[in-house]
Amino acid sequence: MSIELGHFALVLAFALALVQMSVPIIGAQLRNETLMRVAEPAAITSFMLVALSFMALTSAYIQSDFSVLNVWENSHSAKPMLFKITGTWGNHEGSMLLWVLILVFFGALVAFFGRNLPLSLRANVLGVQGAISCAFIIFILATSNPFARLDPAPIEGRDLNPILQDIGLAIHPPLLYLGYVGFSIAFSFAIAALIEGRLDAAWARWVRPWTLAAWTFLTGGIAMGSYWAYYELGWGGFWFWDPVENASLLPWLGGTALLHSALVMEKRSALKIWTVLLAILTFSLSLLGTFLVRSGVLTSVHAFATDPARGVFILGILVLFIGGSLALFAWRAATLTSGGLFQPVSREGALVLNNLILTTATATVLIGTLYPLLVEAVTGDKISVGAPFFNLTFGPLILPLLAIVPFGPLLAWKRGDLWAVSQRLIWAFGGALAVALLALVLVDRTSVLAALGIGLGAWLVLGAMTDLVIKSGLGKVAPSVAFSRFKGLPRSVFGTALAHAGLGLTTIGIVAVTTLETERIVAMEPGEVVEIHGYNLRFDSFRPFTGPNYTEDQARFVLTRVTGRQLGEIVSSKRFYTARQMPTTEAGIRTLGVSQLYVSLGDQTPNGKIVVRIWWKPMVTLIWLGALVMMIGGTVSLLDRRLRIGAPMPRKKAALAQGGQA
């Protein structure tokens, strides 16, 4: 496929976005049905055009067409096919195109599933979506064109950054963008509600599943990014409080708050104005994240080649959308009426507390991330705000939230009984205490902090289980009745329990690995043995090996228990990517239960030995397994039939066909 076709399709999509952002909104103001109906075909056609444009770029990557500048800069003919395809978004231009593709994909989904939304609401929502795609398509066309040609065409490309040549690139950015961009739907609904000055039942029923879907994807995207950095960079860290990581955490925290406040709005029609504000803020944080990552104002592995013009452009988009939406909010919010009174101690009260803590924690992360930029702009001093800042602020603020999570789902709406709920949680509390004591006695007698942290995680898991037990009436009614009640529980109850239990697992993983990890750094030569945490690691051999587009020195280690049981090999290597002349470290990782042994190679010492760094990472996989459980919780909750009653879900087959095209 000709790359020019892709370029042309994107220009056409821009023109269409101009129509989509103006005609339906004007139509809604004039109450002209014909004009409002323009939104739907415009959104679907936009998606097809951007998809065509994206396919054109992908096919240039697959064919290694080095006459395209972007392909030449980021690909190589000897690269494995998977990395040729994923390389499409392994660079600034291509990843922005993926961003826009996902944006118009969501727009098309709204157009498709939203057939029985009120006509004017649908027109306004799609109009706002059109405005966002318009801004980002012009950004690509003006400053980040992936379709530029190169003449004469070089014979060979410059290859993709070796760190990105990994299966992680196939999963992490698409999931992350599905999350980031998915919040645009909540944003568009919020703006549409402000334009119309009306919030009804359809609004809340619509916003929550979209937010939930975006949140689920974002959870997966962040967890995948964390695991990728963990195994690929060879430092063995799972979170660095790097500004770019924070940029993805911020919308996640905002989205989590939104999810909970939308719940109050849907069930009790309270917190309306707050929910609208959170919807705006969450997508604003997504935009801010895009700006921080794409403008190159921050030093990071994610900052591809930087160009000041791009930074200024995205800053413009940011100011326009955030400023505009907040101004609209200030002007129109008063027209939205609120309802649903409740006592401080109630489900609503718990959810408000959740929102208070989450938004405060979001604010501290935001301040820590932006403070260096602010200080540099004002005084010119270059400072860095690192992990100690976030551990000192985010940590103490989020801990109380974790402690009260199990109470929330057990409290009644409107007026709850804290004492009764505490009694119901007594078994979970006892269990958590037992886990903490066991951790203290069996794992490490010196670390009280570790024991408390692990106990906190267990409290979350057991609390989530208690919720299911209480709601099915187990122990109070006959087991068969309890079982049928259990089966009959709404899916969203399971979703909540799974998400909260997943949070508990992640907490256990983080606490265990930060407090109980052991590390050995030794210079070794073949034949030597190192002992770590009851395992013997024998350095077996050190040999060269040639891959498709790299050469490497492979160190093979034989792992045995101290008792002598054989556990197989661990291979760790130093790789050298020939096209980019760039070395990387490939860690050797062995999963033992939920813990991992992590082996990474350093340099050679003057006497010919190899520096080897070995970590025992206790329960580290729980960090990502917990995220996976949270994702499952989100998905289960999305399948709740209550979300479909009254909310439109027409023509399932057609929907599947649409998903297949994406």
Partner 1 sequence: MTRKQKRLAVIAGAIGFLGLATGLTLYALGEQTSYFYMPGDLEERPVAAGQRIRLGGLVEKGSIQRGDDTYVRFAVTDGTESVAVQYSGILPDLFREEQGVVTEGAFDQNRNFVADTVLAKHDENYMPREVADSLKEKGVWKED
**CA–CA gap between residue 555 and residue 435 (Å, rounded):** 39
Least gap, CB of 402 to partner 1 (angstroms): 15
Least gap, CB of 596 to partner 1 (angstroms): 18
Exposure on the CB side of residue 45, measured as CA atoms within 13 A: 16
- What are the CA-CA distances from residue 597 to residues 318, 466, 521, 536, 660 (Å)? 43, 34, 13, 11, 40
CB closer to partner 1 out of 517 and 640: 517
H/E stretch holding 550: strand 550-561
Query: Nearest CA to 499 among 364, 593, 594, 408?
Result: 408
CB closer to partner 1 out of 142 and 392: 392
CB closer to partner 1 out of 533 and 580: 580
CB 160 within 8 A of CB 79: yes
Q: How many CB atoms are located within 10 Å of the residue 240 CB? A: 18
Least gap, CB of 415 to partner 1 (angstroms): 12
Extended beta strands in 477-594, E state: 518-524, 529-532, 535-546, 550-561, 566-577, 582-586, 588-592
CB closer to partner 1 out of 568 and 606: 606
Note if the bond before 152 is cis, omega within 30 degrees: yes
CB closer to partner 1 out of 74 and 88: 74
Task: Characterise 414 by phi-psi region: left (phi > 0), alpha (psi -120 to 50), beta (else).
Answer: left
Query: Nearest CA to 115 among 105, 104, 126?
Result: 126
**CA–CA gap between residue 440 and residue 9 (Å, rounded):** 62
CB closer to partner 1 out of 372 and 431: 372
Least gap, CB of 368 to partner 1 (angstroms): 8
User: Which residue blocks in 197-271 are alpha helix, DSSP H?
Assistant: 201-232, 243-268
**CA–CA gap between residue 593 and residue 601 (Å, rounded):** 24
- What are the CA-CA distances from residue 194 to residues 103, 118, 306, 395, 501 (Å)? 21, 15, 37, 36, 36
Least gap, CB of 287 to partner 1 (angstroms): 22
**CA–CA gap between residue 248 and residue 180 (Å, rounded):** 8
**CA–CA gap between residue 123 and residue 19 (Å, rounded):** 12
3-state secondary structure of 628: helix
Least gap, CB of 374 to partner 1 (angstroms): 11
Least gap, CB of 278 to partner 1 (angstroms): 16
Least gap, CB of 367 to partner 1 (angstroms): 6
Q: What would the DSSP string read from start to end of 175-191?
A: HHHHHHHHHHHHHHHHH
CB closer to partner 1 out of 301 and 470: 301
**CA–CA gap between residue 507 and residue 509 (Å, rounded):** 5
Burial call 413-426: b when 16+ CB within 10 Å, e when fewer? beebeeeebeebbe
Residue 222 in tokens: 């962040």
**Which DSSP state fits 149?**
B
Helices 652-661 + 92-113 axis angle, to 10? 170
CB closer to partner 1 out of 129 and 596: 596
Q: CB within 8 A of 256, min separation 6: which ones?
A: 215, 358
CB closer to partner 1 out of 206 and 304: 304
Least gap, CB of 445 to partner 1 (angstroms): 28
CB closer to partner 1 out of 124 and 295: 295
CB closer to partner 1 out of 341 and 437: 341
CB closer to partner 1 out of 43 and 385: 385
Least gap, CB of 234 to partner 1 (angstroms): 8
CB closer to partner 1 out of 328 and 397: 397
Least gap, CB of 205 to partner 1 (angstroms): 29
CB closer to partner 1 out of 235 and 483: 235
**CA–CA gap between residue 499 and residue 634 (Å, rounded):** 7
CB 414 within 8 A of CB 346: yes
DSSP lists the bridge partners of residue 601 as 612
Least gap, CB of 411 to partner 1 (angstroms): 15
Residue 241 phi, psi (nearest 5) = 55, 35
Whats the size of the chain, residue-wise? 662
**CA–CA gap between residue 283 and residue 274 (Å, rounded):** 14
Least gap, CB of 416 to partner 1 (angstroms): 14
The footprint of partner 1 (CB under 8 A) covers 161-163, 234, 298-299, 301, 303, 305, 343-344, 356-357, 360-361, 363-364, 367-368, 371-372, 381-386, 388-389, 392-393, 396-397, 521-523, 574, 580-585, 600, 602-603, 605-606, 611, 613
CB closer to partner 1 out of 7 and 294: 294
Least gap, CB of 281 to partner 1 (angstroms): 16
Least gap, CB of 379 to partner 1 (angstroms): 11
Planar angle of CA 115, 120, 124, nearest 5 degrees? 95
